[in-house]
Chains A and B, each alone.
Chain A
Amino acid sequence: MNSTFEDRLLAELKAEIAARAAQGRAPAARRLTGRRFLAVAGVVAVAAGTAVAAPMVIGSQTRAYAVTKNADGSINLWLNEFRDPRQVERDLAELGVRADITYLSLGKRCGNARAPFVAGDHTPTTPEELASKDPAVQARIRKRAEKTASAKAIRPENGITIYPRYIKPGQIVLIEVMENPVEPTVKHPGVAWQFSGRLTDGPVGPCQIVDDPSAFDIGTGTPPAGS
């Protein structure tokens, strides 16, 4: 890579500007986090992490979370209470998945680039495409983002579902979960929690927490099903 730090950081910041512009219009229920951009030699790695909304769990479940293995080899992670992420990591490790889980309040995010991106997350998206307001271009970028290695391995299905067959040896599943401290109601709609997830080859640095006011932007749509 011949570009300088100055150039790479500029590309990253421009991607962030484009992502923020896109985020302003996207519904909160399912949107790119906009924080997952990395410039690599003129190519921008797009949105490995997807943030999704999940409905509140209703009823009297006593377990803080559930890790279950499905018949197809995928692993489902259902979070009920947001505590002890280290125990979740240990349970996933027993199933052969190295994970780094961070719990945050909704409205916060990790503001730093915590870990390197995997090769499968680099897409041939240019900064011009990212800046584009054309819905067709945006749809194309979203489509590419859905085909990244991370998007295949970590999916917003029944909470969070991890597909180990898409995880290469040594890769770490990096998940950040943002919990809404206020229970969403019909009067005050919102998401119960969101998560963003992606793969990394590590090392993973600690999360530097910053405000993310856009987390409370629920768009113009109706509240997510089940809330």
Chain B
Amino acid sequence: MRPKQTSPKQTSLADVVRDPEAFEAFYRRHFDDVTRFLARRVADPHTVADLTAEVFLAVLDSAHTYRAGRGSETAWLYGVARNTLHAEWRRSARESRATSRMAGHRPLEPDDVVRLEDRIDAEAPARRALEAMAELPESERALLELVAVDGLSPAEAAAALGIRQGTARVRLHRARRFIQQVPGVVPVMGGTK
């Protein structure tokens, strides 16, 4: 993972989301990360756009839950993105009309669609890796996703999921043992990005 600049220590994230200028800096810093995170899991540009908006709206709602001492902004943001995505999946499973619902919610210009499609294409190997992990138990899969696919450190992934680092290490160990047996996945996951 590329090291990310965090907000100056004296400004909490809760303050950042109340100040349009400070928020702009935060948004520009993380927009690419959020869309990539989503493009690894969703292959439709309109859905990626809608979910990106939902993630940043969720940031406005939950910025007060961020604790600088517990991990980077990116780790926290991935936790928010993950919750947003899962809420969306649960909702679409209930309504079982995910595709028709999401299409065209946020008006996208042709250029926007091209940019998002490029991003989605670039993340195709990551999506394959995630598919291969589908058989893992949820708790192990969530960690492995964040570490091997999204490039967080184990400590950051633990922070993103709100679990203890020791617990994370144990689960990660179990998950890695499983994933090494899945053909075609290990090369994709060779080293973190």
* A interface residues with partner B (beta carbon < 8 Å): 1, 4-6, 9-10, 12-14, 16-18, 20-21, 111-114, 116, 127, 131, 203, 205-206, 208, 210-211
| Complex contacts, B107 vs chain A, CB 8 Å | 116
Q: Is the CB of A20 within 8 A of B60?
A: yes
Cβ of B116 within 8 Å of any chain A Cβ, yes or no, is: yes
For the complex, give the distance between the alpha carbons of A1 and B112 in Å.
11
Q: Is the CB of A113 within 8 A of B105?
A: yes
Kindly identify, within residues 12 to 28 of chain B, every residue whose CB is under 8 Å from any CB belonging to chain A: 17-20, 23-24, 27-28
Q: Is the CB of B20 within 8 A of A18?
A: yes
Interface size classification for chain B: 20 to 34
Q: Which of B45-53, B73-81, B125-133, B161-169 binds A?
A: B45-53
Cβ of B95 within 8 Å of any chain A Cβ, yes or no, is: yes
For the complex, give the distance between the alpha carbons of A52 and B115 in Å.
41
Smallest CB separation, B69 vs chain A (Å): 25
Smallest CB separation, B24 vs chain A (Å): 6
Q: Is the CB of A113 within 8 A of B106?
A: yes
| Complex contacts, A18 vs chain B, CB 8 Å | 20
30 A-B pairs in the complex with CB atoms less than 8 angstroms apart: A1-B109, A4-B109, A4-B112, A4-B115, A5-B106, A5-B109, A5-B112, A5-B115, A5-B116, A9-B49, A9-B53, A9-B56, A9-B106, A10-B24, A10-B28, A13-B56, A14-B20, A16-B57, A17-B20, A17-B23, A20-B60, A21-B18, A112-B54, A112-B105, A113-B105, A113-B106, A116-B107, A131-B20, A203-B104, A206-B101
Q: How would you classify the secondary structure of chain B's contact residues: helix, strand, loop or mixed?
A: helix
- The answer to whether residues A112 and B108 also contact, given A10-B24, A16-B57 and a CB cut-off of 8 A, is no
- The answer to whether residues A112 and B31 also contact, given A13-B23, A14-B24, A206-B101 and a CB cut-off of 8 A, is no
* B interface residues with partner A (beta carbon < 8 Å): 17-20, 23-24, 27-28, 31, 49-50, 52-54, 56-57, 60-61, 91, 95, 101-102, 104-109, 111-112, 115-116
| Complex contacts, B31 vs chain A, CB 8 Å | 6
Name the residue of chain A whose CB is nearest to the CB of B32: A6
* A1, A12, A20, A208: residue with the most chain B Cβ atoms closer than 10 Å: A208
Name the residue of chain B whose CB is nearest to the CB of A212: B61
| From B23, B102, B104, B108, contact of A5 by CB (8 A) | B108
